[in-house]
Chain A
Amino acid sequence: MIPTEDILKTLEMVQIENLDVRAVTLGINLMGCADGDSDRMLHKIRQRIHSVAGHLVACCDEVSAKYGIDIVNKRLAVSKISSLLEAHDPSVCLPLAHTLDEAARGVAVDIIGGYTALVQKGFSDGDRRLIDSIPEVLSNTERVCASVNVAGTKAGINMDAVLLMGRQIKRVAELTADKDGFGAAKLCVFANIPEDNPFMAGAFLGPGEPGTVVNIGVSGPGVIKRALERLLESGRRVDLGTIAEEIKRTSFRVTRVGELMGREVARKLGVEFGVVDLSLAPTPRIGDSVGEILQTMGIVKIGAPGSTVAVAMLNDAVKKGGLFASSSVGGLSGAFIPVSEDQALSRAVAEGSLTLEKLEAMTSVCSVGLDMVVIPGDVDAETISAIIADEMAIGVINNKTTAVRLIPAPGKSVGEKAVFGGLFGQGDVVDVRNAGTSSRFVAYGGRIPAPLHSLKN
């Protein structure tokens, strides 16, 4: 019998502290839809998505009702679309993206990831077609998300791809200028992209994954913040070891919710259960913020000295608690710091305490990178590429995933705000210092070789 106080604690987590399952992402391999006839291929894609994902939302709602816990986002991640484009000319790209968009709408899913290319060592014809089409696709579809892996620890950094992606990010933002460049919020550039990530915009079904699989993204910044507040109010003598322990315990509880509900959704859908992604994913809601956890830990101004070590400790403790709670952990699994989606981080940018450089430092010890960062619309493409290259270097050298999701908001400059709405939130424009002074470096192109795997100092 579960003790009453444990029932009350769980109820508090759910009802007051914003505990939910952030994402149930259904991975679908579309390679079986490959066909030299584009109309037939698009028809097969529609059929495949409808047959596998037709009941996804109903299953999620049923499991959600049983446990009384929201599943906030139901999403699809398909196998990389660049492979389907190998045998087609560029004119197929937009109709294919529309097919994905409509198929997602047809199964009541708000986002579909997998408009993806993996080019860390070079481009295939399909990769080129996909990357070239990204601005048109993201500005003409509602639900499609794109991702491009340009670097890897074993491959190095494809600087030709980095250069190209800087231009594409800028172009996407310009084509969606009426929404403050929102199209760029649906585009991620990666190093060491995970094959089983359930979080958008970077989710896709990797080549080593099952044909269909459910991956789960848990949530819980609010739960961890409240647990730390209770610890600090308890009157107990608290040191940083105690705080790490409390984060670990709370992460265990949060992960368990994802594990339980994810396995049940997978069983109901008749597909494999993949992983629980332990990432702490904030939302723009007050009380659901990674930044607020750092403040509760004693970093009053996020971005101040101490911010990096605090987020490193948080990230590590979250993983330790989560790993014990689930036998199948994967994806990104770390604390996210997506600026516009986290009201405390967003405020820190507005107040000037959190700079691009400090964000970059923090991303070297947490997940996932420079995420949802709004920069001035007049920053040149080469500078965006240089920012991407810096972030890729952190991932490649440290053997971890890093990503860049920058929004160069057209017509906006420092002191102004870009408003996206919903889970994407709103963000103050972050200053990019020394813009325009790295162009010669990134313009060399080529591939930065893979790093040493020994002599690590």
Chain B
Amino acid sequence: MEWLIQVLNSVQYGLLLFLVASGLTLIFGIMGVINLAHGSFYMIGAYLAFSLTQWTGNLWVALPLGIILAAVLGLLLEWLLIGRLYRRDHLHQVLLTFGLILVFEELRSITVGDDVHSVVIPAILGGSLPLTENLSYPVYRLFISAVCLALAAAMYLTIQKTRLGMMIRAGASNPEMAQSLGVNIRWIHALVFAAGVALAAFAGMIAAPVSSVFPGMGNQVLIVCFVVVVIGGIGSLKGALVASLLIGFADTFGKVLVPELAGVAVYLLMAIVLLFRPAGLFGRV
């Protein structure tokens, strides 16, 4: 029984990781932009959930508001800054997005302060399911997993089955050709970037009630997200999903079975994968 619960823990952690990392891999794969500030968008999402829930008194109202704000922020950033870097070296992108991390952390400090905050779980999901006689599982954690699965399916369908998805894929593989065939690449890029920001912020928002909201939370998640992208293969959504779940399992069972190695389990996994598949599990070489 305990094993099954640990499997549940693994899947739940993995799915949430996927939600954050999917935006990163999309931006990386489709636009070729290394976005170090991705963790900041996760942090911004969490703080939005906190502020908007305080303001509106309800997480359900805060969520859509937050997504809209995050998407607008994404569009603005793409238009003002990121859009100027597509043709530049990766180093410039790293410098710019690293600068953004500092700016966002400082803005957070000025506007909300450096305290730890918590977000109340909506009453309807506040309960727990008893699993064993002394352990229960919070319903809200199951809700997070369900939302992540639904979003993963929606993303897959959008990219593989819709006209928009076709244009995005075309833009990723050959932007010049796609442009000359009448696809507005500028617009596609802005859209993808905004979607990536919104995904990360959304992950921050729904994670806020269980993770609490604290300074530096974005940097913690950023590193793991890059591991996900590397293991899964740059730009591959399927890869990101598989890699997130793998990391969920490696982290959870690493902590329980070999606590001495818990800190490196995830990176060991990455090293092993890279040894056999240098481009990641689903990467295009």
Q: Do A and B bind each other?
A: no
